[in-house]
């Protein structure tokens, strides 16, 4: 039996967050980005889009098209907080969740929906409760694979629900422009159009004939595309294990960017998420890794070894920022990620002892740490701490 995979995509997420703080923005043309000659539109409201404003556009050009638009620089702490509320809400329906970015996820709902008589009614209820309880709007795609679910969620916005069954793939995908094919970058689409491939249907015909020129165009990605375009491909929703060897978060941008300050803004949010999760799980790590994915799907992995393990937000953010500065090289980036690697329990870490240390006291502390670590492992969470550690956290305002 095919799985039932959902792709849940929050509608104009950043704009919606700003509306929740300032309801007077609702129904108005809003641009999230920076003003001035070097400013770029990160995202915008549907009202602004009616004037031709879009992500990646210079802000001054957007304001020429829509002079009354309200420009907001963005409040990323707010977006991070509302994102967590969103994922906590989704977990009430299923624990099999893969976070795709700050405002979208894949969810395996096979068990919940296999015997549901009215799937659309069920999902409409989900949308309404998300709006009522969290204040966010979403579109939902339903399909047997992650690719099809992603394509489906893009078809009706805002607050849309689209179901693609495998038997409906040709009917629903073939008429769409090739530029709408998820995974085909903005540089690849024009090249395909030059080859006469203007719709997904055009591509399907050539791929199913194993056309040589098309194979050459896609290289090793060709067979992935062939599966996707015929309704197959991955249906595995990747859930992070409870006790991982690393803790990482990534986000796919609304638009490709080569702007250091903009990408660094995303890294700040990601570093905070990594730090918070590591502290929650009682973990510290020896390495900070930066992951960048270009618009041509080239992946750049760089990491740095720390002088001592940490879960400190500022340390993680600063190290990731240094790696970004060294490796960005004016490339167009579509995804960035921050990972804390080589994790150990914080209770396992012992500073190098000096000859003046009291060994009896240290051995007693380590025995206590061992007991606490074992209890936490059995409870599957950082449920126990030493009183001295709690006092230390309170002293520093945590």
Question: If residue 285 lies in a helix (H) or strand (E), which one and from where to where?
Answer: strand 283-294
Eight-class DSSP state of 178: G
Q: How far is it, in rounded angstroms, from Cα 320 to Cα 139?
A: 33
| 5's tokens | 């995979």
CA angle 347, 349, 351 (to 5 degrees): 130
Q: How far is it, in rounded angstroms, from Cα 30 to Cα 45?
A: 5
* C-beta of residue 303 within 8 angstroms of C-beta of residue 287: yes
Query: Considering all CA atoms of the chain, what is the largest pairwise distance in Å, rounded to the nearest integer?
Result: 78
* C-beta of residue 343 within 8 angstroms of C-beta of residue 283: yes
* C-beta of residue 123 within 8 angstroms of C-beta of residue 130: no
| 166's tokens | 């495998």
Phi-psi region of 332 (alpha: psi -120 to 50; beta: other; left: phi over 0): beta
Q: Which of 18, 104, 262, 319 is catalytic?
A: 104
Query: What residues contact 206, with CB distance under 8 A and at least 6 apart?
Result: 197, 213, 214
- In sign, the C-alpha dihedral spanning 90, 91, 97, 103 is positive
In the residue annotation, 104 being an active-site residue is answered as: yes
Write b or e for each residue in 363-374: b if 16 or more Cβ atoms lie within 10 A of its Cβ, otherwise e.
eeeeeebeebbe
Which of the residues are catalytic?
Answer: 104
């Amino acid at each position: 039996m095919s799985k039932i995979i959902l792709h849940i995509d929050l509608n104009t997420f950043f704009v919606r967050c700003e509306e929740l703080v300032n309801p007077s923005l609702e129904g108005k043309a809003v641009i999230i980005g920076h003003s001035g000659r070097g400013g770029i539109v990160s995202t915008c409201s549907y009202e602004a889009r009616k004037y031709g404003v879009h992500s990646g556009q210079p802000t001054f050009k957007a304001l020429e098209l829509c002079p009354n638009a309200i420009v907001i620089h963005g409040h990323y702490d707010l977006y991070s907080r509302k994102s967590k509320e969103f994922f906590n809400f989704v977990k009430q329906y299923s624990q099999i969740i893969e976070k795709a970015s700050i405002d979208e996820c894949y969810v395996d709902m096979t068990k919940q929906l296999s015997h549901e008589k009215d799937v659309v009614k069920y999902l409409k209820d989900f949308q309404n409760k998300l709006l009522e309880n969290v204040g966010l709007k979403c579109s939902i795609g339903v399909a047997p694979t992650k690719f099809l679910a992603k394509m489906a969620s893009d078809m009706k916005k805002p607050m849309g629900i689209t179901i693609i069954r495998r038997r409906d793939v040709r009917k629903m995908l073939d008429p769409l422009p090739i530029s709408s094919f998820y995974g085909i970058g903005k540089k690849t689409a024009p090249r395909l159009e030059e080859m006469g491939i203007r719709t997904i249907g055009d591509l399907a015909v050539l791929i199913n004939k194993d056309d040589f020129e098309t194979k050459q165009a896609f290289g090793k990605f060709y067979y992935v595309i062939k599966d996707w375009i015929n309704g197959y491909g991955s249906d595995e929703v990747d859930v992070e294990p409870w006790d991982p060897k690393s803790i990482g978060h990534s986000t796919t941008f609304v638009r490709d960017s080569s702007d250091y300050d903009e990408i660094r803004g995303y890294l700040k949010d990601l570093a905070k998420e990594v730090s918070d999760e590591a502290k929650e799980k009682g973990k510290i790590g020896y390495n900070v890794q930066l992951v960048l994915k270009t618009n041509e799907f080239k992946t750049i992995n760089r990491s740095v070894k720390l002088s001592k393990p940490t879960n400190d937000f500022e340390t993680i953010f600063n190290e990731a920022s240094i790696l970004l500065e060294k490796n960005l090289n004016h490339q167009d980036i579509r995804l960035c990620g921050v990972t804390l690697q080589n994790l150990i329990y914080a209770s396992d870490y012992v500073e190098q002892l000096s000859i003046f240390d009291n060994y009896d006291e240290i051995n007693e502390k380590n025995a206590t740490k061992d007991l606490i670590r074992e209890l936490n492992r059995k409870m599957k969470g950082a449920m126990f701490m030493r009183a001295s550690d709690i006092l230390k956290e309170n002293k520093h305002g945590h």
